[in-house]
Amino acid sequence: MNSISNRRLNFRVEGEAPGSKARASRLTTLHNEVETPVFMPVATRAVIRTQDMAAVDELGFPVLLANTYHLLIRPGTDVFRKFGGIHKFMNWERSVLTDSGGFQVFSLPNAVKISEEGAAFRSYHDGSTILLSPEKSIETQKCIGSDIMMAMDQCIPSTSEYGLCEESVELTARWAGRSLAARGDSLQSIFGIVQGACYPDLRKRSAGQITALPFDGYAIGGLAVGETGNERNDMTELTASLLPPDYPRYLMGVGTPIDLLEAVHRGVDMFDCILPTSHGQQGVAYTSQGIIELRRGVYKFSDKPIDENCTCPACRRYSRGYIHHLIKTGEYYGGNLVGVHNLTFYRNLMQTMRRHILAGDFYPYYLEQRDILVRGDENHPPVPTRVKKRKETLSLGSYEVVRQDGGFHSIRHVSSGEVMHSVTDPLVEAKRLYVDQLNIAETLSGHSAGSYIVWDVGLGAGTNAMATVREYEKIYEEMGELPELRIISFENDLDSLRLAVKNPSLFPHVKHPAPAAILGKGEWSSSRFPVKWILHEGDFCEHINSAVIPHCIYYDPFSLHTDTPLWRYSLFRELHEKCSGYKTMLFTYSSSTQVRGALLAAGFYVGRGAGTGPKSETTAAFSTPEACPPWIELLDREWLGRFERSSSKHGADCSEEEKIEIERRVLEHPQFD
C-alpha cells in the first residue's frame, strides 16, 4: 500500500476499502502509535467531564483532545511549565491533541474583537483581556506539550453569508502561515485547518492555501456549526478529496456515530466530539441495536443492561432500570455510567470500521450500519400520541394569539393593540436582545458573589425567561460549572403566559416544565442545573423595594403609551438607587430619546444596545461605568446634542420642575465629560 511518510508523524495508509474512500492508517506521535480511524474523547480541562480517568485509560483511547482556551485561562501556562506538560500534569501516557482555542473564543457572543493580529476576549476567570493570536495560541500549545497542535483559524457559523466566509478563509490562511512559523523547530506536530463553510469554491480555495503549507496533517473545520447533515457530508466529501492522500485528515467537532460512519466512508481518519459524555448526561445511549433514551419510563422495570453486546463497566454491573432511576433523579453517577458506555461504543465502532477496511469489506458494513446507527429502540417504539381534536384557545383575558407574516405567532394585548415581538420571531428577539447581551458564558463565569440575579420585567409569554433558561442549560452542559442563576419575573397579568402554555405548537418555548410550574406554583427549579425561576405577581413598582438586588435587568414592559409609569424618570431613579454599589446591567428594546434621557438623569450610564429586527439599535444601561462591557458603546456628545434639540425628550405627564431636573442631570452626566 501507500507508504509515503512525512517527517514528524510517520503517517502510513495501511488499507483502503473497495467501493468507498475509507482508509485505515497508522501514525506515530511523540508518545505512541495511533491506528485510524480514531475517535479522540474531549478532555476539555485536562479531564473528561463526568468520567473516572482511570476507567478511560483502560478503554485504551490512543489520543485525547484538550482545549487550549480553557487551559490558558485555568490553570494557565505557568502550571504546565512547572509540571513539564499536560501528560505529567494529568498522568496520561498516550497522545494529546490541543485545539487552537479559536473556536471557543469565537463562540462567545459579543466578547470578541477580531483583528489581523488575533482575537481579543475577556477572561471568565479574572476579567482580564487576553489577545489570542496565532503566536500566542502556539506558544500556549507548546507549553501544554500536546503531541498534535492545531493552527489558529477563524471559525464562523457554517451558514454565514458568502462575503464573511471569504474574509474568514483569507484570514485563516494568513493565520495558518503565522501558526506554522511559530511552531519553529519544536518536535510537536501541527495541523492546518481548511475553512469555507458550505461554499464549494471557498472550500477549494482554502484547501489550496492550507495544503500549500508544510503541515503534518490537515483538518476540516467549520462544520457541525449549523448546517444540515447532508450539507456536512457533501462538504466533508469535497474537502477530504482536496487533501493530500499521504497526510492524516481530521474532521473537527464531529459527531454522532452515524456522522463518524459517513465521514470515514468519505476518507476522514480522525474525530473528536463531546457527544458521548454530554449525551450520556442526558441518558442517551448508543447501542448495537440503535439509540436508546434511558429517561423513558419504558426502562423503569428493565433488568437488562444498556446493551447486551457490551462489556463496559456500566453494562457489566447495572440494569437499564437502575440507570433510568439515576438519570431521572439527576444523580451524577447516571451520566458517568451512560458516558462510559458511550465512550466504549465509540471506541468499538472505530475499531470495527478499521477491521472491515483492512478486511476489504467496509462497504457492505457501511450500508448495513447506516440503518442500524440511527435506529431507535425497536422493542420499545415511541407510543404514537393520540390525535385528539382539541379546540384551540386563541384568546384569553386581555390577550389573543396572532399569526405574523414571518410564519411565527405572537401575543397581542387586545385593548392597546400592542403585539409582543411583532416583527421578529419572539425567541430570536429574546435571544438577541436579552440573552446574548447578558452573555451568560462570560458574565456568569466571572461572577463570584453567590447567585446571579436576573430581573425579567414584563414576563409576558415567558419568552425572555425561557430563552435564558435554555441558554443557561446549554452553556452549563458545555462549561460544567457556573454560579446559580435566579430569574425573577414581574408580571401583573399572567393570561399571556397561560395563552402560550395552552398553545405549545405555536409557542415552542413553553415545551419545558418551567412555564407550567410558574403558572401553578409561582416558581420553578431545575433538577439538573442550578437555575431557579421565581414569579412576583403584581405591579412592578410595588416589588422594587422587596425583591433581591439584580445583576441584570431585562426591561421589557409594554410601550411608553401602554405602560407609562414603568418608563418614568422617578421609577428609573428608584431602580438606580436599588442597584447602587452593585454592577448592574439593564437591557431594553426602546431606543427613544425620552427613555435614554430618563435613564441618564436617574444616574445610569447609557449605551447603544444590540439591534434586532427593524431596530438598528436598542438601549443598554449600567449602574456604574465598571458594569459596562467593552463592546458596548456609550452615548457620546453627538447624542447629547440631539437630546438638547429634541422636542420629544419628556413624557406627556412630566411636570415642569421634573423636565428641568432631567435636562440638568443629563447635561451634567459624567458620561459626557
* Active site residues per annotation: 99, 272
- Nearer to Zn ion (CB atom), residue 80 or residue 318: 318
**CA gyration radius, the chain:** 27
User: To the nearest whole angstrom, how small is the minimum distance from the Cβ of residue 306 to Zn ion?
Assistant: 5
- Nearer to Zn ion (CB atom), residue 339 or residue 515: 339
Q: Helix/strand/coil (H, E, C) string of 101-127?
A: CHHHHHCCCCCCEECCCCEEEECCCCC
User: To the nearest whole angstrom, how small is the minimum distance from the Cβ of residue 323 to Zn ion?
Assistant: 10
User: To the nearest whole angstrom, how small is the minimum distance from the Cβ of residue 90 to Zn ion?
Assistant: 24
26, with CB counted inside 10 A (0-12, 13-18, 19+), is middle
- Nearer to Zn ion (CB atom), residue 57 or residue 418: 57
Distance of CA 350 to the CA centre of its chain: 27
3-class SS of residue 327: helix
Report the interhelical angle of 463-479 vs 513-521 (nearest 10°). Answer: 130
Contact 150, 99 (CB under 8 A): yes
- Nearer to Zn ion (CB atom), residue 152 or residue 343: 343
Of 56, 197, 310, 485, the one binding Zn ion by CB under 5 A: 310
- Nearer to Zn ion (CB atom), residue 101 or residue 276: 276
The whole-angstrom separation of Cα 354 and Cα 17 is 10
The whole-angstrom separation of Cα 106 and Cα 117 is 15
Using rule CB under 5 A, residue 621 touches Zn ion: no
User: To the nearest whole angstrom, how small is the minimum distance from the Cβ of residue 316 to Zn ion?
Assistant: 8
- Nearer to Zn ion (CB atom), residue 156 or residue 338: 338
- Nearer to Zn ion (CB atom), residue 119 or residue 285: 285
Contact 555, 588 (CB under 8 A): yes
- Nearer to Zn ion (CB atom), residue 303 or residue 673: 303
Contact 179, 134 (CB under 8 A): yes
- Nearer to Zn ion (CB atom), residue 317 or residue 511: 317
User: To the nearest whole angstrom, how small is the minimum distance from the Cβ of residue 287 to Zn ion?
Assistant: 8
Using rule CB under 5 A, residue 486 touches Zn ion: no
User: To the nearest whole angstrom, how small is the minimum distance from the Cβ of residue 312 to Zn ion?
Assistant: 3
User: To the nearest whole angstrom, how small is the minimum distance from the Cβ of residue 185 to Zn ion?
Assistant: 45
3-class SS of residue 345: helix
Using rule CB under 5 A, residue 312 touches Zn ion: yes
C-alpha cell at 561: 403609551
Report the interhelical angle of 332-359 vs 320-328 (nearest 10°). Answer: 130
C-alpha cell at 472: 443557561
Binding string, 338-377, against Zn ion, x = CB under 5 A? ---x------------------------------------
Residue 169's nearest CA partner among 249, 214, 160, 67 is 160
C-alpha cell at 616: 438598528
Cell 419568552 found at: 463
Contact 46, 69 (CB under 8 A): no
User: To the nearest whole angstrom, how small is the minimum distance from the Cβ of residue 301 to Zn ion?
Assistant: 20
The whole-angstrom separation of Cα 37 and Cα 354 is 6
Amino acid at 546: S
Binding string, 252-291, against Zn ion, x = CB under 5 A? ----------------------------------------
- Of all helices (H) and strands (E), which one includes residue 56? helix 53-59
The whole-angstrom separation of Cα 160 and Cα 137 is 25
Binding positions for Zn ion, 322-341, rule CB under 5 A? 341
Cis before 75 (ω within 30): yes
Centre a 10 Å sphere on the Cβ of residue 487 and count the other Cβ atoms it contains: 27
Contact 574, 539 (CB under 8 A): no
Q: Could you tell me how many residues of this chain bind Zn ion (CB under 5 A)?
A: 5
User: To the nearest whole angstrom, how small is the minimum distance from the Cβ of residue 320 to Zn ion?
Assistant: 11
User: To the nearest whole angstrom, how small is the minimum distance from the Cβ of residue 255 to Zn ion?
Assistant: 20
Q: Which region among 18-26, 310-318, 488-496, 621-629 touches Zn ion (by CB under 5 A)?
A: 310-318
Q: Which region among 23-31, 315-323, 513-521, 597-605 touches Zn ion (by CB under 5 A)?
A: 315-323
Cell 496520561 found at: 92
Task: Indicate if the alpha-carbon torsion angle 629, 633, 639, 643 is positive or negative.
Answer: negative
618-622 vs 605-609, strand pairing mode: antiparallel
Contact 618, 609 (CB under 8 A): yes
End-to-end CA distance of the chain: 73
Q: Which region among 304-312, 409-417, 555-563, 634-642 touches Zn ion (by CB under 5 A)?
A: 304-312
Distance of CA 457 to the CA centre of its chain: 25
Of 56, 165, 315, 575, the one binding Zn ion by CB under 5 A: 315
Contact 193, 250 (CB under 8 A): no
332, with CB counted inside 10 A (0-12, 13-18, 19+), is exposed
Q: Which region among 303-311, 504-512, 552-560, 576-584 touches Zn ion (by CB under 5 A)?
A: 303-311
The whole-angstrom separation of Cα 400 and Cα 499 is 8
- Nearer to Zn ion (CB atom), residue 279 or residue 650: 279
- Nearer to Zn ion (CB atom), residue 83 or residue 333: 333
User: To the nearest whole angstrom, how small is the minimum distance from the Cβ of residue 348 to Zn ion?
Assistant: 9
Binding site for Zn ion (CB under 5 A): 310, 312, 314-315, 341
